[in-house]
Each structure stands twice: as structure tokens, then as C-alpha cells.
């Protein structure tokens, strides 16, 4: 494109636009969370604050990179022979966001598992989560050090591709584990409204996985195919926002689940029903997961 933008940076502009919209939604979700869930554990509030802060840094870096290439150096082809540090810096923020969110869901799985299989289920997930952190950080740091796009093909198969592939694998394992565990609880529960609630949570887990997995898989394809590699820039702008938003949506959906559970009157109330449903509705909180473990020890769950 003579005097204009390369095709890859057109996709980067579109990705940046979509990313900015999702950031606005995440910020609103964060505000709603702090207004409605004041009784959550401190560690969970800190996690939300950390993810939002990383997301804010990401959007700042992304805007700077887009401004550098598409405003300051518009129509200067040689500018694309230099990697401005905020471009890999924005991706590094995404790496941290994905790591934090996947650790959160791995923690869910850990407390939902029976004691005999806790580590058998969560250890492979955590290996993949740590691997994506290592590969992703390695790739972005190398790009920040060398500032040369020619370095990207050199680290493609031991940095970029493994980083994206491990994100996709970890996401699939997290979703499958959550669905299997929630389905197991539902099938063993004699309470119809608890089963309905667990089925709703399974649908939420599948929907969350589909959205993030589709974007990650498309990014993996664009990364492997060097001819469309530049499209991965726009996709990488979006992926971290989807993970941050999925975390906030999981936390903020609890109030809706409470109201939905309260609207079911088909089953007579019982202490066991109340305890089980409370555990299910609060399954996305650290403190509630600890309560589930304590109740299981006492033989009540």
C-alpha cells in the first residue's frame, strides 16, 4: 500500500478499536463488581484490581504503538522495520492477564475436585499455564531487546507458536474439567433446582471457552502461516480483553444466579439444598470454595 498502511496494520487498527470497546465493558464490569460484592475475600478483590490494572496498561501501550505507526510515521514504510517497545509490551500485559485468569479457573477446579484427584487434574493445567507465561514472556522480551521484525521468524517455533498453543490447550483443559466436575455434581444431586443451576454454569463455561478459544486458534493459525502473520497483531490486542472480561462476567453473574435460584419453587426447601446451592452460586469465589471444602470434610456436601 504505497503511502498508506500495510495490511497487517489495518487489522491492528481494527483490533485496537474492538479492544478499546471491550476495555470499556471490562471497566464497567469492574465497577459493578466492587459495588455489589463488597464481602468477597481480599485476595479476590486484589486479583480483580490487578487484572484491571494490567488491562489498563495494555490499552495504554496499544494506543501508543498504534499512534507511533499510524500517526507519527504514517506513510513512512521504513518505520515498520523497527519494533517500538510498547508493541511487545502490550502483548506482555496480555500474557500476565491470561496467566492470572487461567490460574483463577485452575483454582476453582482444584477445590471442586475430590482430594484423591486434585493434583492429577490441576497439575497438567498449571504446567500449560506456566508454559504459556514462560514462552510468552520470552517472546515479548526478545522483541523489546532487539527491536527488529526479522527476529520474529527466528523465534517462531520456540517462542511465539508454543505460547499461543499452550494458551489454547490450557483453555480446553480448564473448560472440559469444569464441565465434567459440574456435571458430576449435578448428576449426583437429588435436587432438581440444583441440577438446573449446575447446567447453567456448564453452559457459561462452554460459552466462555468458545469465545476465547476461537480467537486463540485463529491467532495460532495466523502465527504459523507467515503470510498472514501480521493479522496476529490485531488478534493479540483482543485476546487479553476477552480473558479479563470472562473473569469479570464469571464474578458478576453470581447475583443473577442467586435470583434465578430463588425463583425456583418446584422443590421443597431444605438445609442440604441451601448449602449445596450456596456452594454452587459462590463457586467463583475463593472464600466460598474454601467453604465447600470445609463442608465436604464435615460430610455435608
- Residue that is written with C-alpha cell 499510524 in the block: 70
- Residue that is written with C-alpha cell 526478545 in the block: 142
User: CB–CB of 90/66 below 8 Å?
Assistant: no
Neighbours of 154 (CB within 10 A): 12
User: CB–CB of 225/4 below 8 Å?
Assistant: no
User: CB–CB of 279/292 below 8 Å?
Assistant: yes
Q: What is the pTM of this model?
A: 0.82
What is the residue-level pLDDT of the chain in tens, covering all 301 positions? 444 455 557 788 888 999 999 999 999 999 999 999 988 899 999 999 999 999 999 999 999 999 998 888 887 777 778 889 999 999 999 999 999 999 999 998 888 888 888 889 999 999 999 999 999 999 999 989 988 888 877 887 788 888 988 998 998 898 888 888 877 766 666 666 666 777 777 777 777 777 888 888 888 877 766 544 567 788 889 999 999 999 998 888 887 776 765 655 444 444 444 434 444 444 444 444 444 444 444 444 4
Residue 144: half-sphere exposure toward Cβ, Cα within 13 Å: 16
User: CB–CB of 216/250 below 8 Å?
Assistant: no
222-230 long-range contacts, CB within 8 A, separation 24+ = 223/156, 223/160, 223/161, 223/164, 224/161, 226/153, 226/156, 229/8, 229/152, 230/6, 230/7, 230/8, 230/9, 230/11, 230/12
- What CA–CA distance (Å, rounded) separates 207 from 246? 10
What grid cell was written down for 128? 500449560
Name, in order, each residue with C-beta under 8 angstroms of 65's C-beta and a sequence gap of 6 or more: 84, 86, 87, 90
Straight-line distance from the first to the last Cα atom of the chain, in angstroms, rounded to the nearest whole number: 64
Amino acid at each position: 500500500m504505497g503511502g498508506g498502511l500495510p495490511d497487517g496494520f489495518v487489522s491492528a487498527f481494527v483490533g485496537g478499536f474492538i479492544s478499546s470497546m471491550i476495555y470499556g465493558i471490562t471497566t464497567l464490569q469492574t465497577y459493578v463488581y466492587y459495588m455489589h460484592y463488597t464481602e468477597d475475600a481480599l485476595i479476590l478483590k486484589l486479583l480483580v484490581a490487578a487484572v484491571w490494572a494490567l488491562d489498563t496498561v495494555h490499552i495504554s501501550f496499544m494506543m501508543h504503538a498504534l499512534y507511533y505507526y499510524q500517526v507519527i510515521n504514517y506513510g513512512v514504510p521504513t518505520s515498520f522495520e523497527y519494533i517500538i517497545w510498547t508493541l511487545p509490551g502490550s502483548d506482555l500485559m496480555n500474557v500476565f492477564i491470561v496467566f492470572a485468569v487461567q490460574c483463577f479457573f485452575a483454582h476453582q477446579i482444584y477445590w471442586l475436585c475430590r482430594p484423591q484427584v486434585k493434583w492429577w487434574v490441576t497439575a497438567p493445567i498449571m504446567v500449560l499455564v506456566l508454559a504459556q507465561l514462560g514462552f510468552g514472556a520470552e517472546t515479548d522480551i526478545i522483541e523489546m531487546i532487539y527491536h527488529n521484525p526479522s527476529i520474529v521468524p527466528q523465534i517462531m517455533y520456540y517462542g511465539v507458536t508454543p505460547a499461543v498453543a499452550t494458551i489454547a490447550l490450557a483453555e480446553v483443559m480448564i473448560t472440559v474439567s469444569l464441565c465434567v466436575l459440574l456435571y458430576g455434581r449435578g448428576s449426583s444431586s437429588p435436587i432438581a433446582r440444583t441440577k438446573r443451576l449446575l447446567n447453567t454454569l456448564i453452559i457459561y463455561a462452554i460459552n466462555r471457552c468458545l469465545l476465547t478459544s476461537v480467537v486463540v486458534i485463529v491467532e495460532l493459525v495466523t502465527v504459523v502461516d507467515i503470510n498472514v502473520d501480521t493479522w496476529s497483531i490485531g488478534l493479540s490486542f483482543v485476546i487479553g480483553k476477552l480473558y479479563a472480561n470472562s473473569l469479570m462476567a464469571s464474578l458478576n453473574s453470581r447475583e443473577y444466579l442467586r435470583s434465578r435460584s430463588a425463583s425456583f419453587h418446584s422443590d421443597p426447601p431444605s438445609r442440604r439444598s441451601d448449602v449445596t446451592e450456596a456452594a454452587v452460586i459462590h463457586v467463583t469465589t475463593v472464600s466460598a470454595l474454601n467453604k465447600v471444602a470445609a463442608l465436604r470434610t464435615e460430610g455435608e456436601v
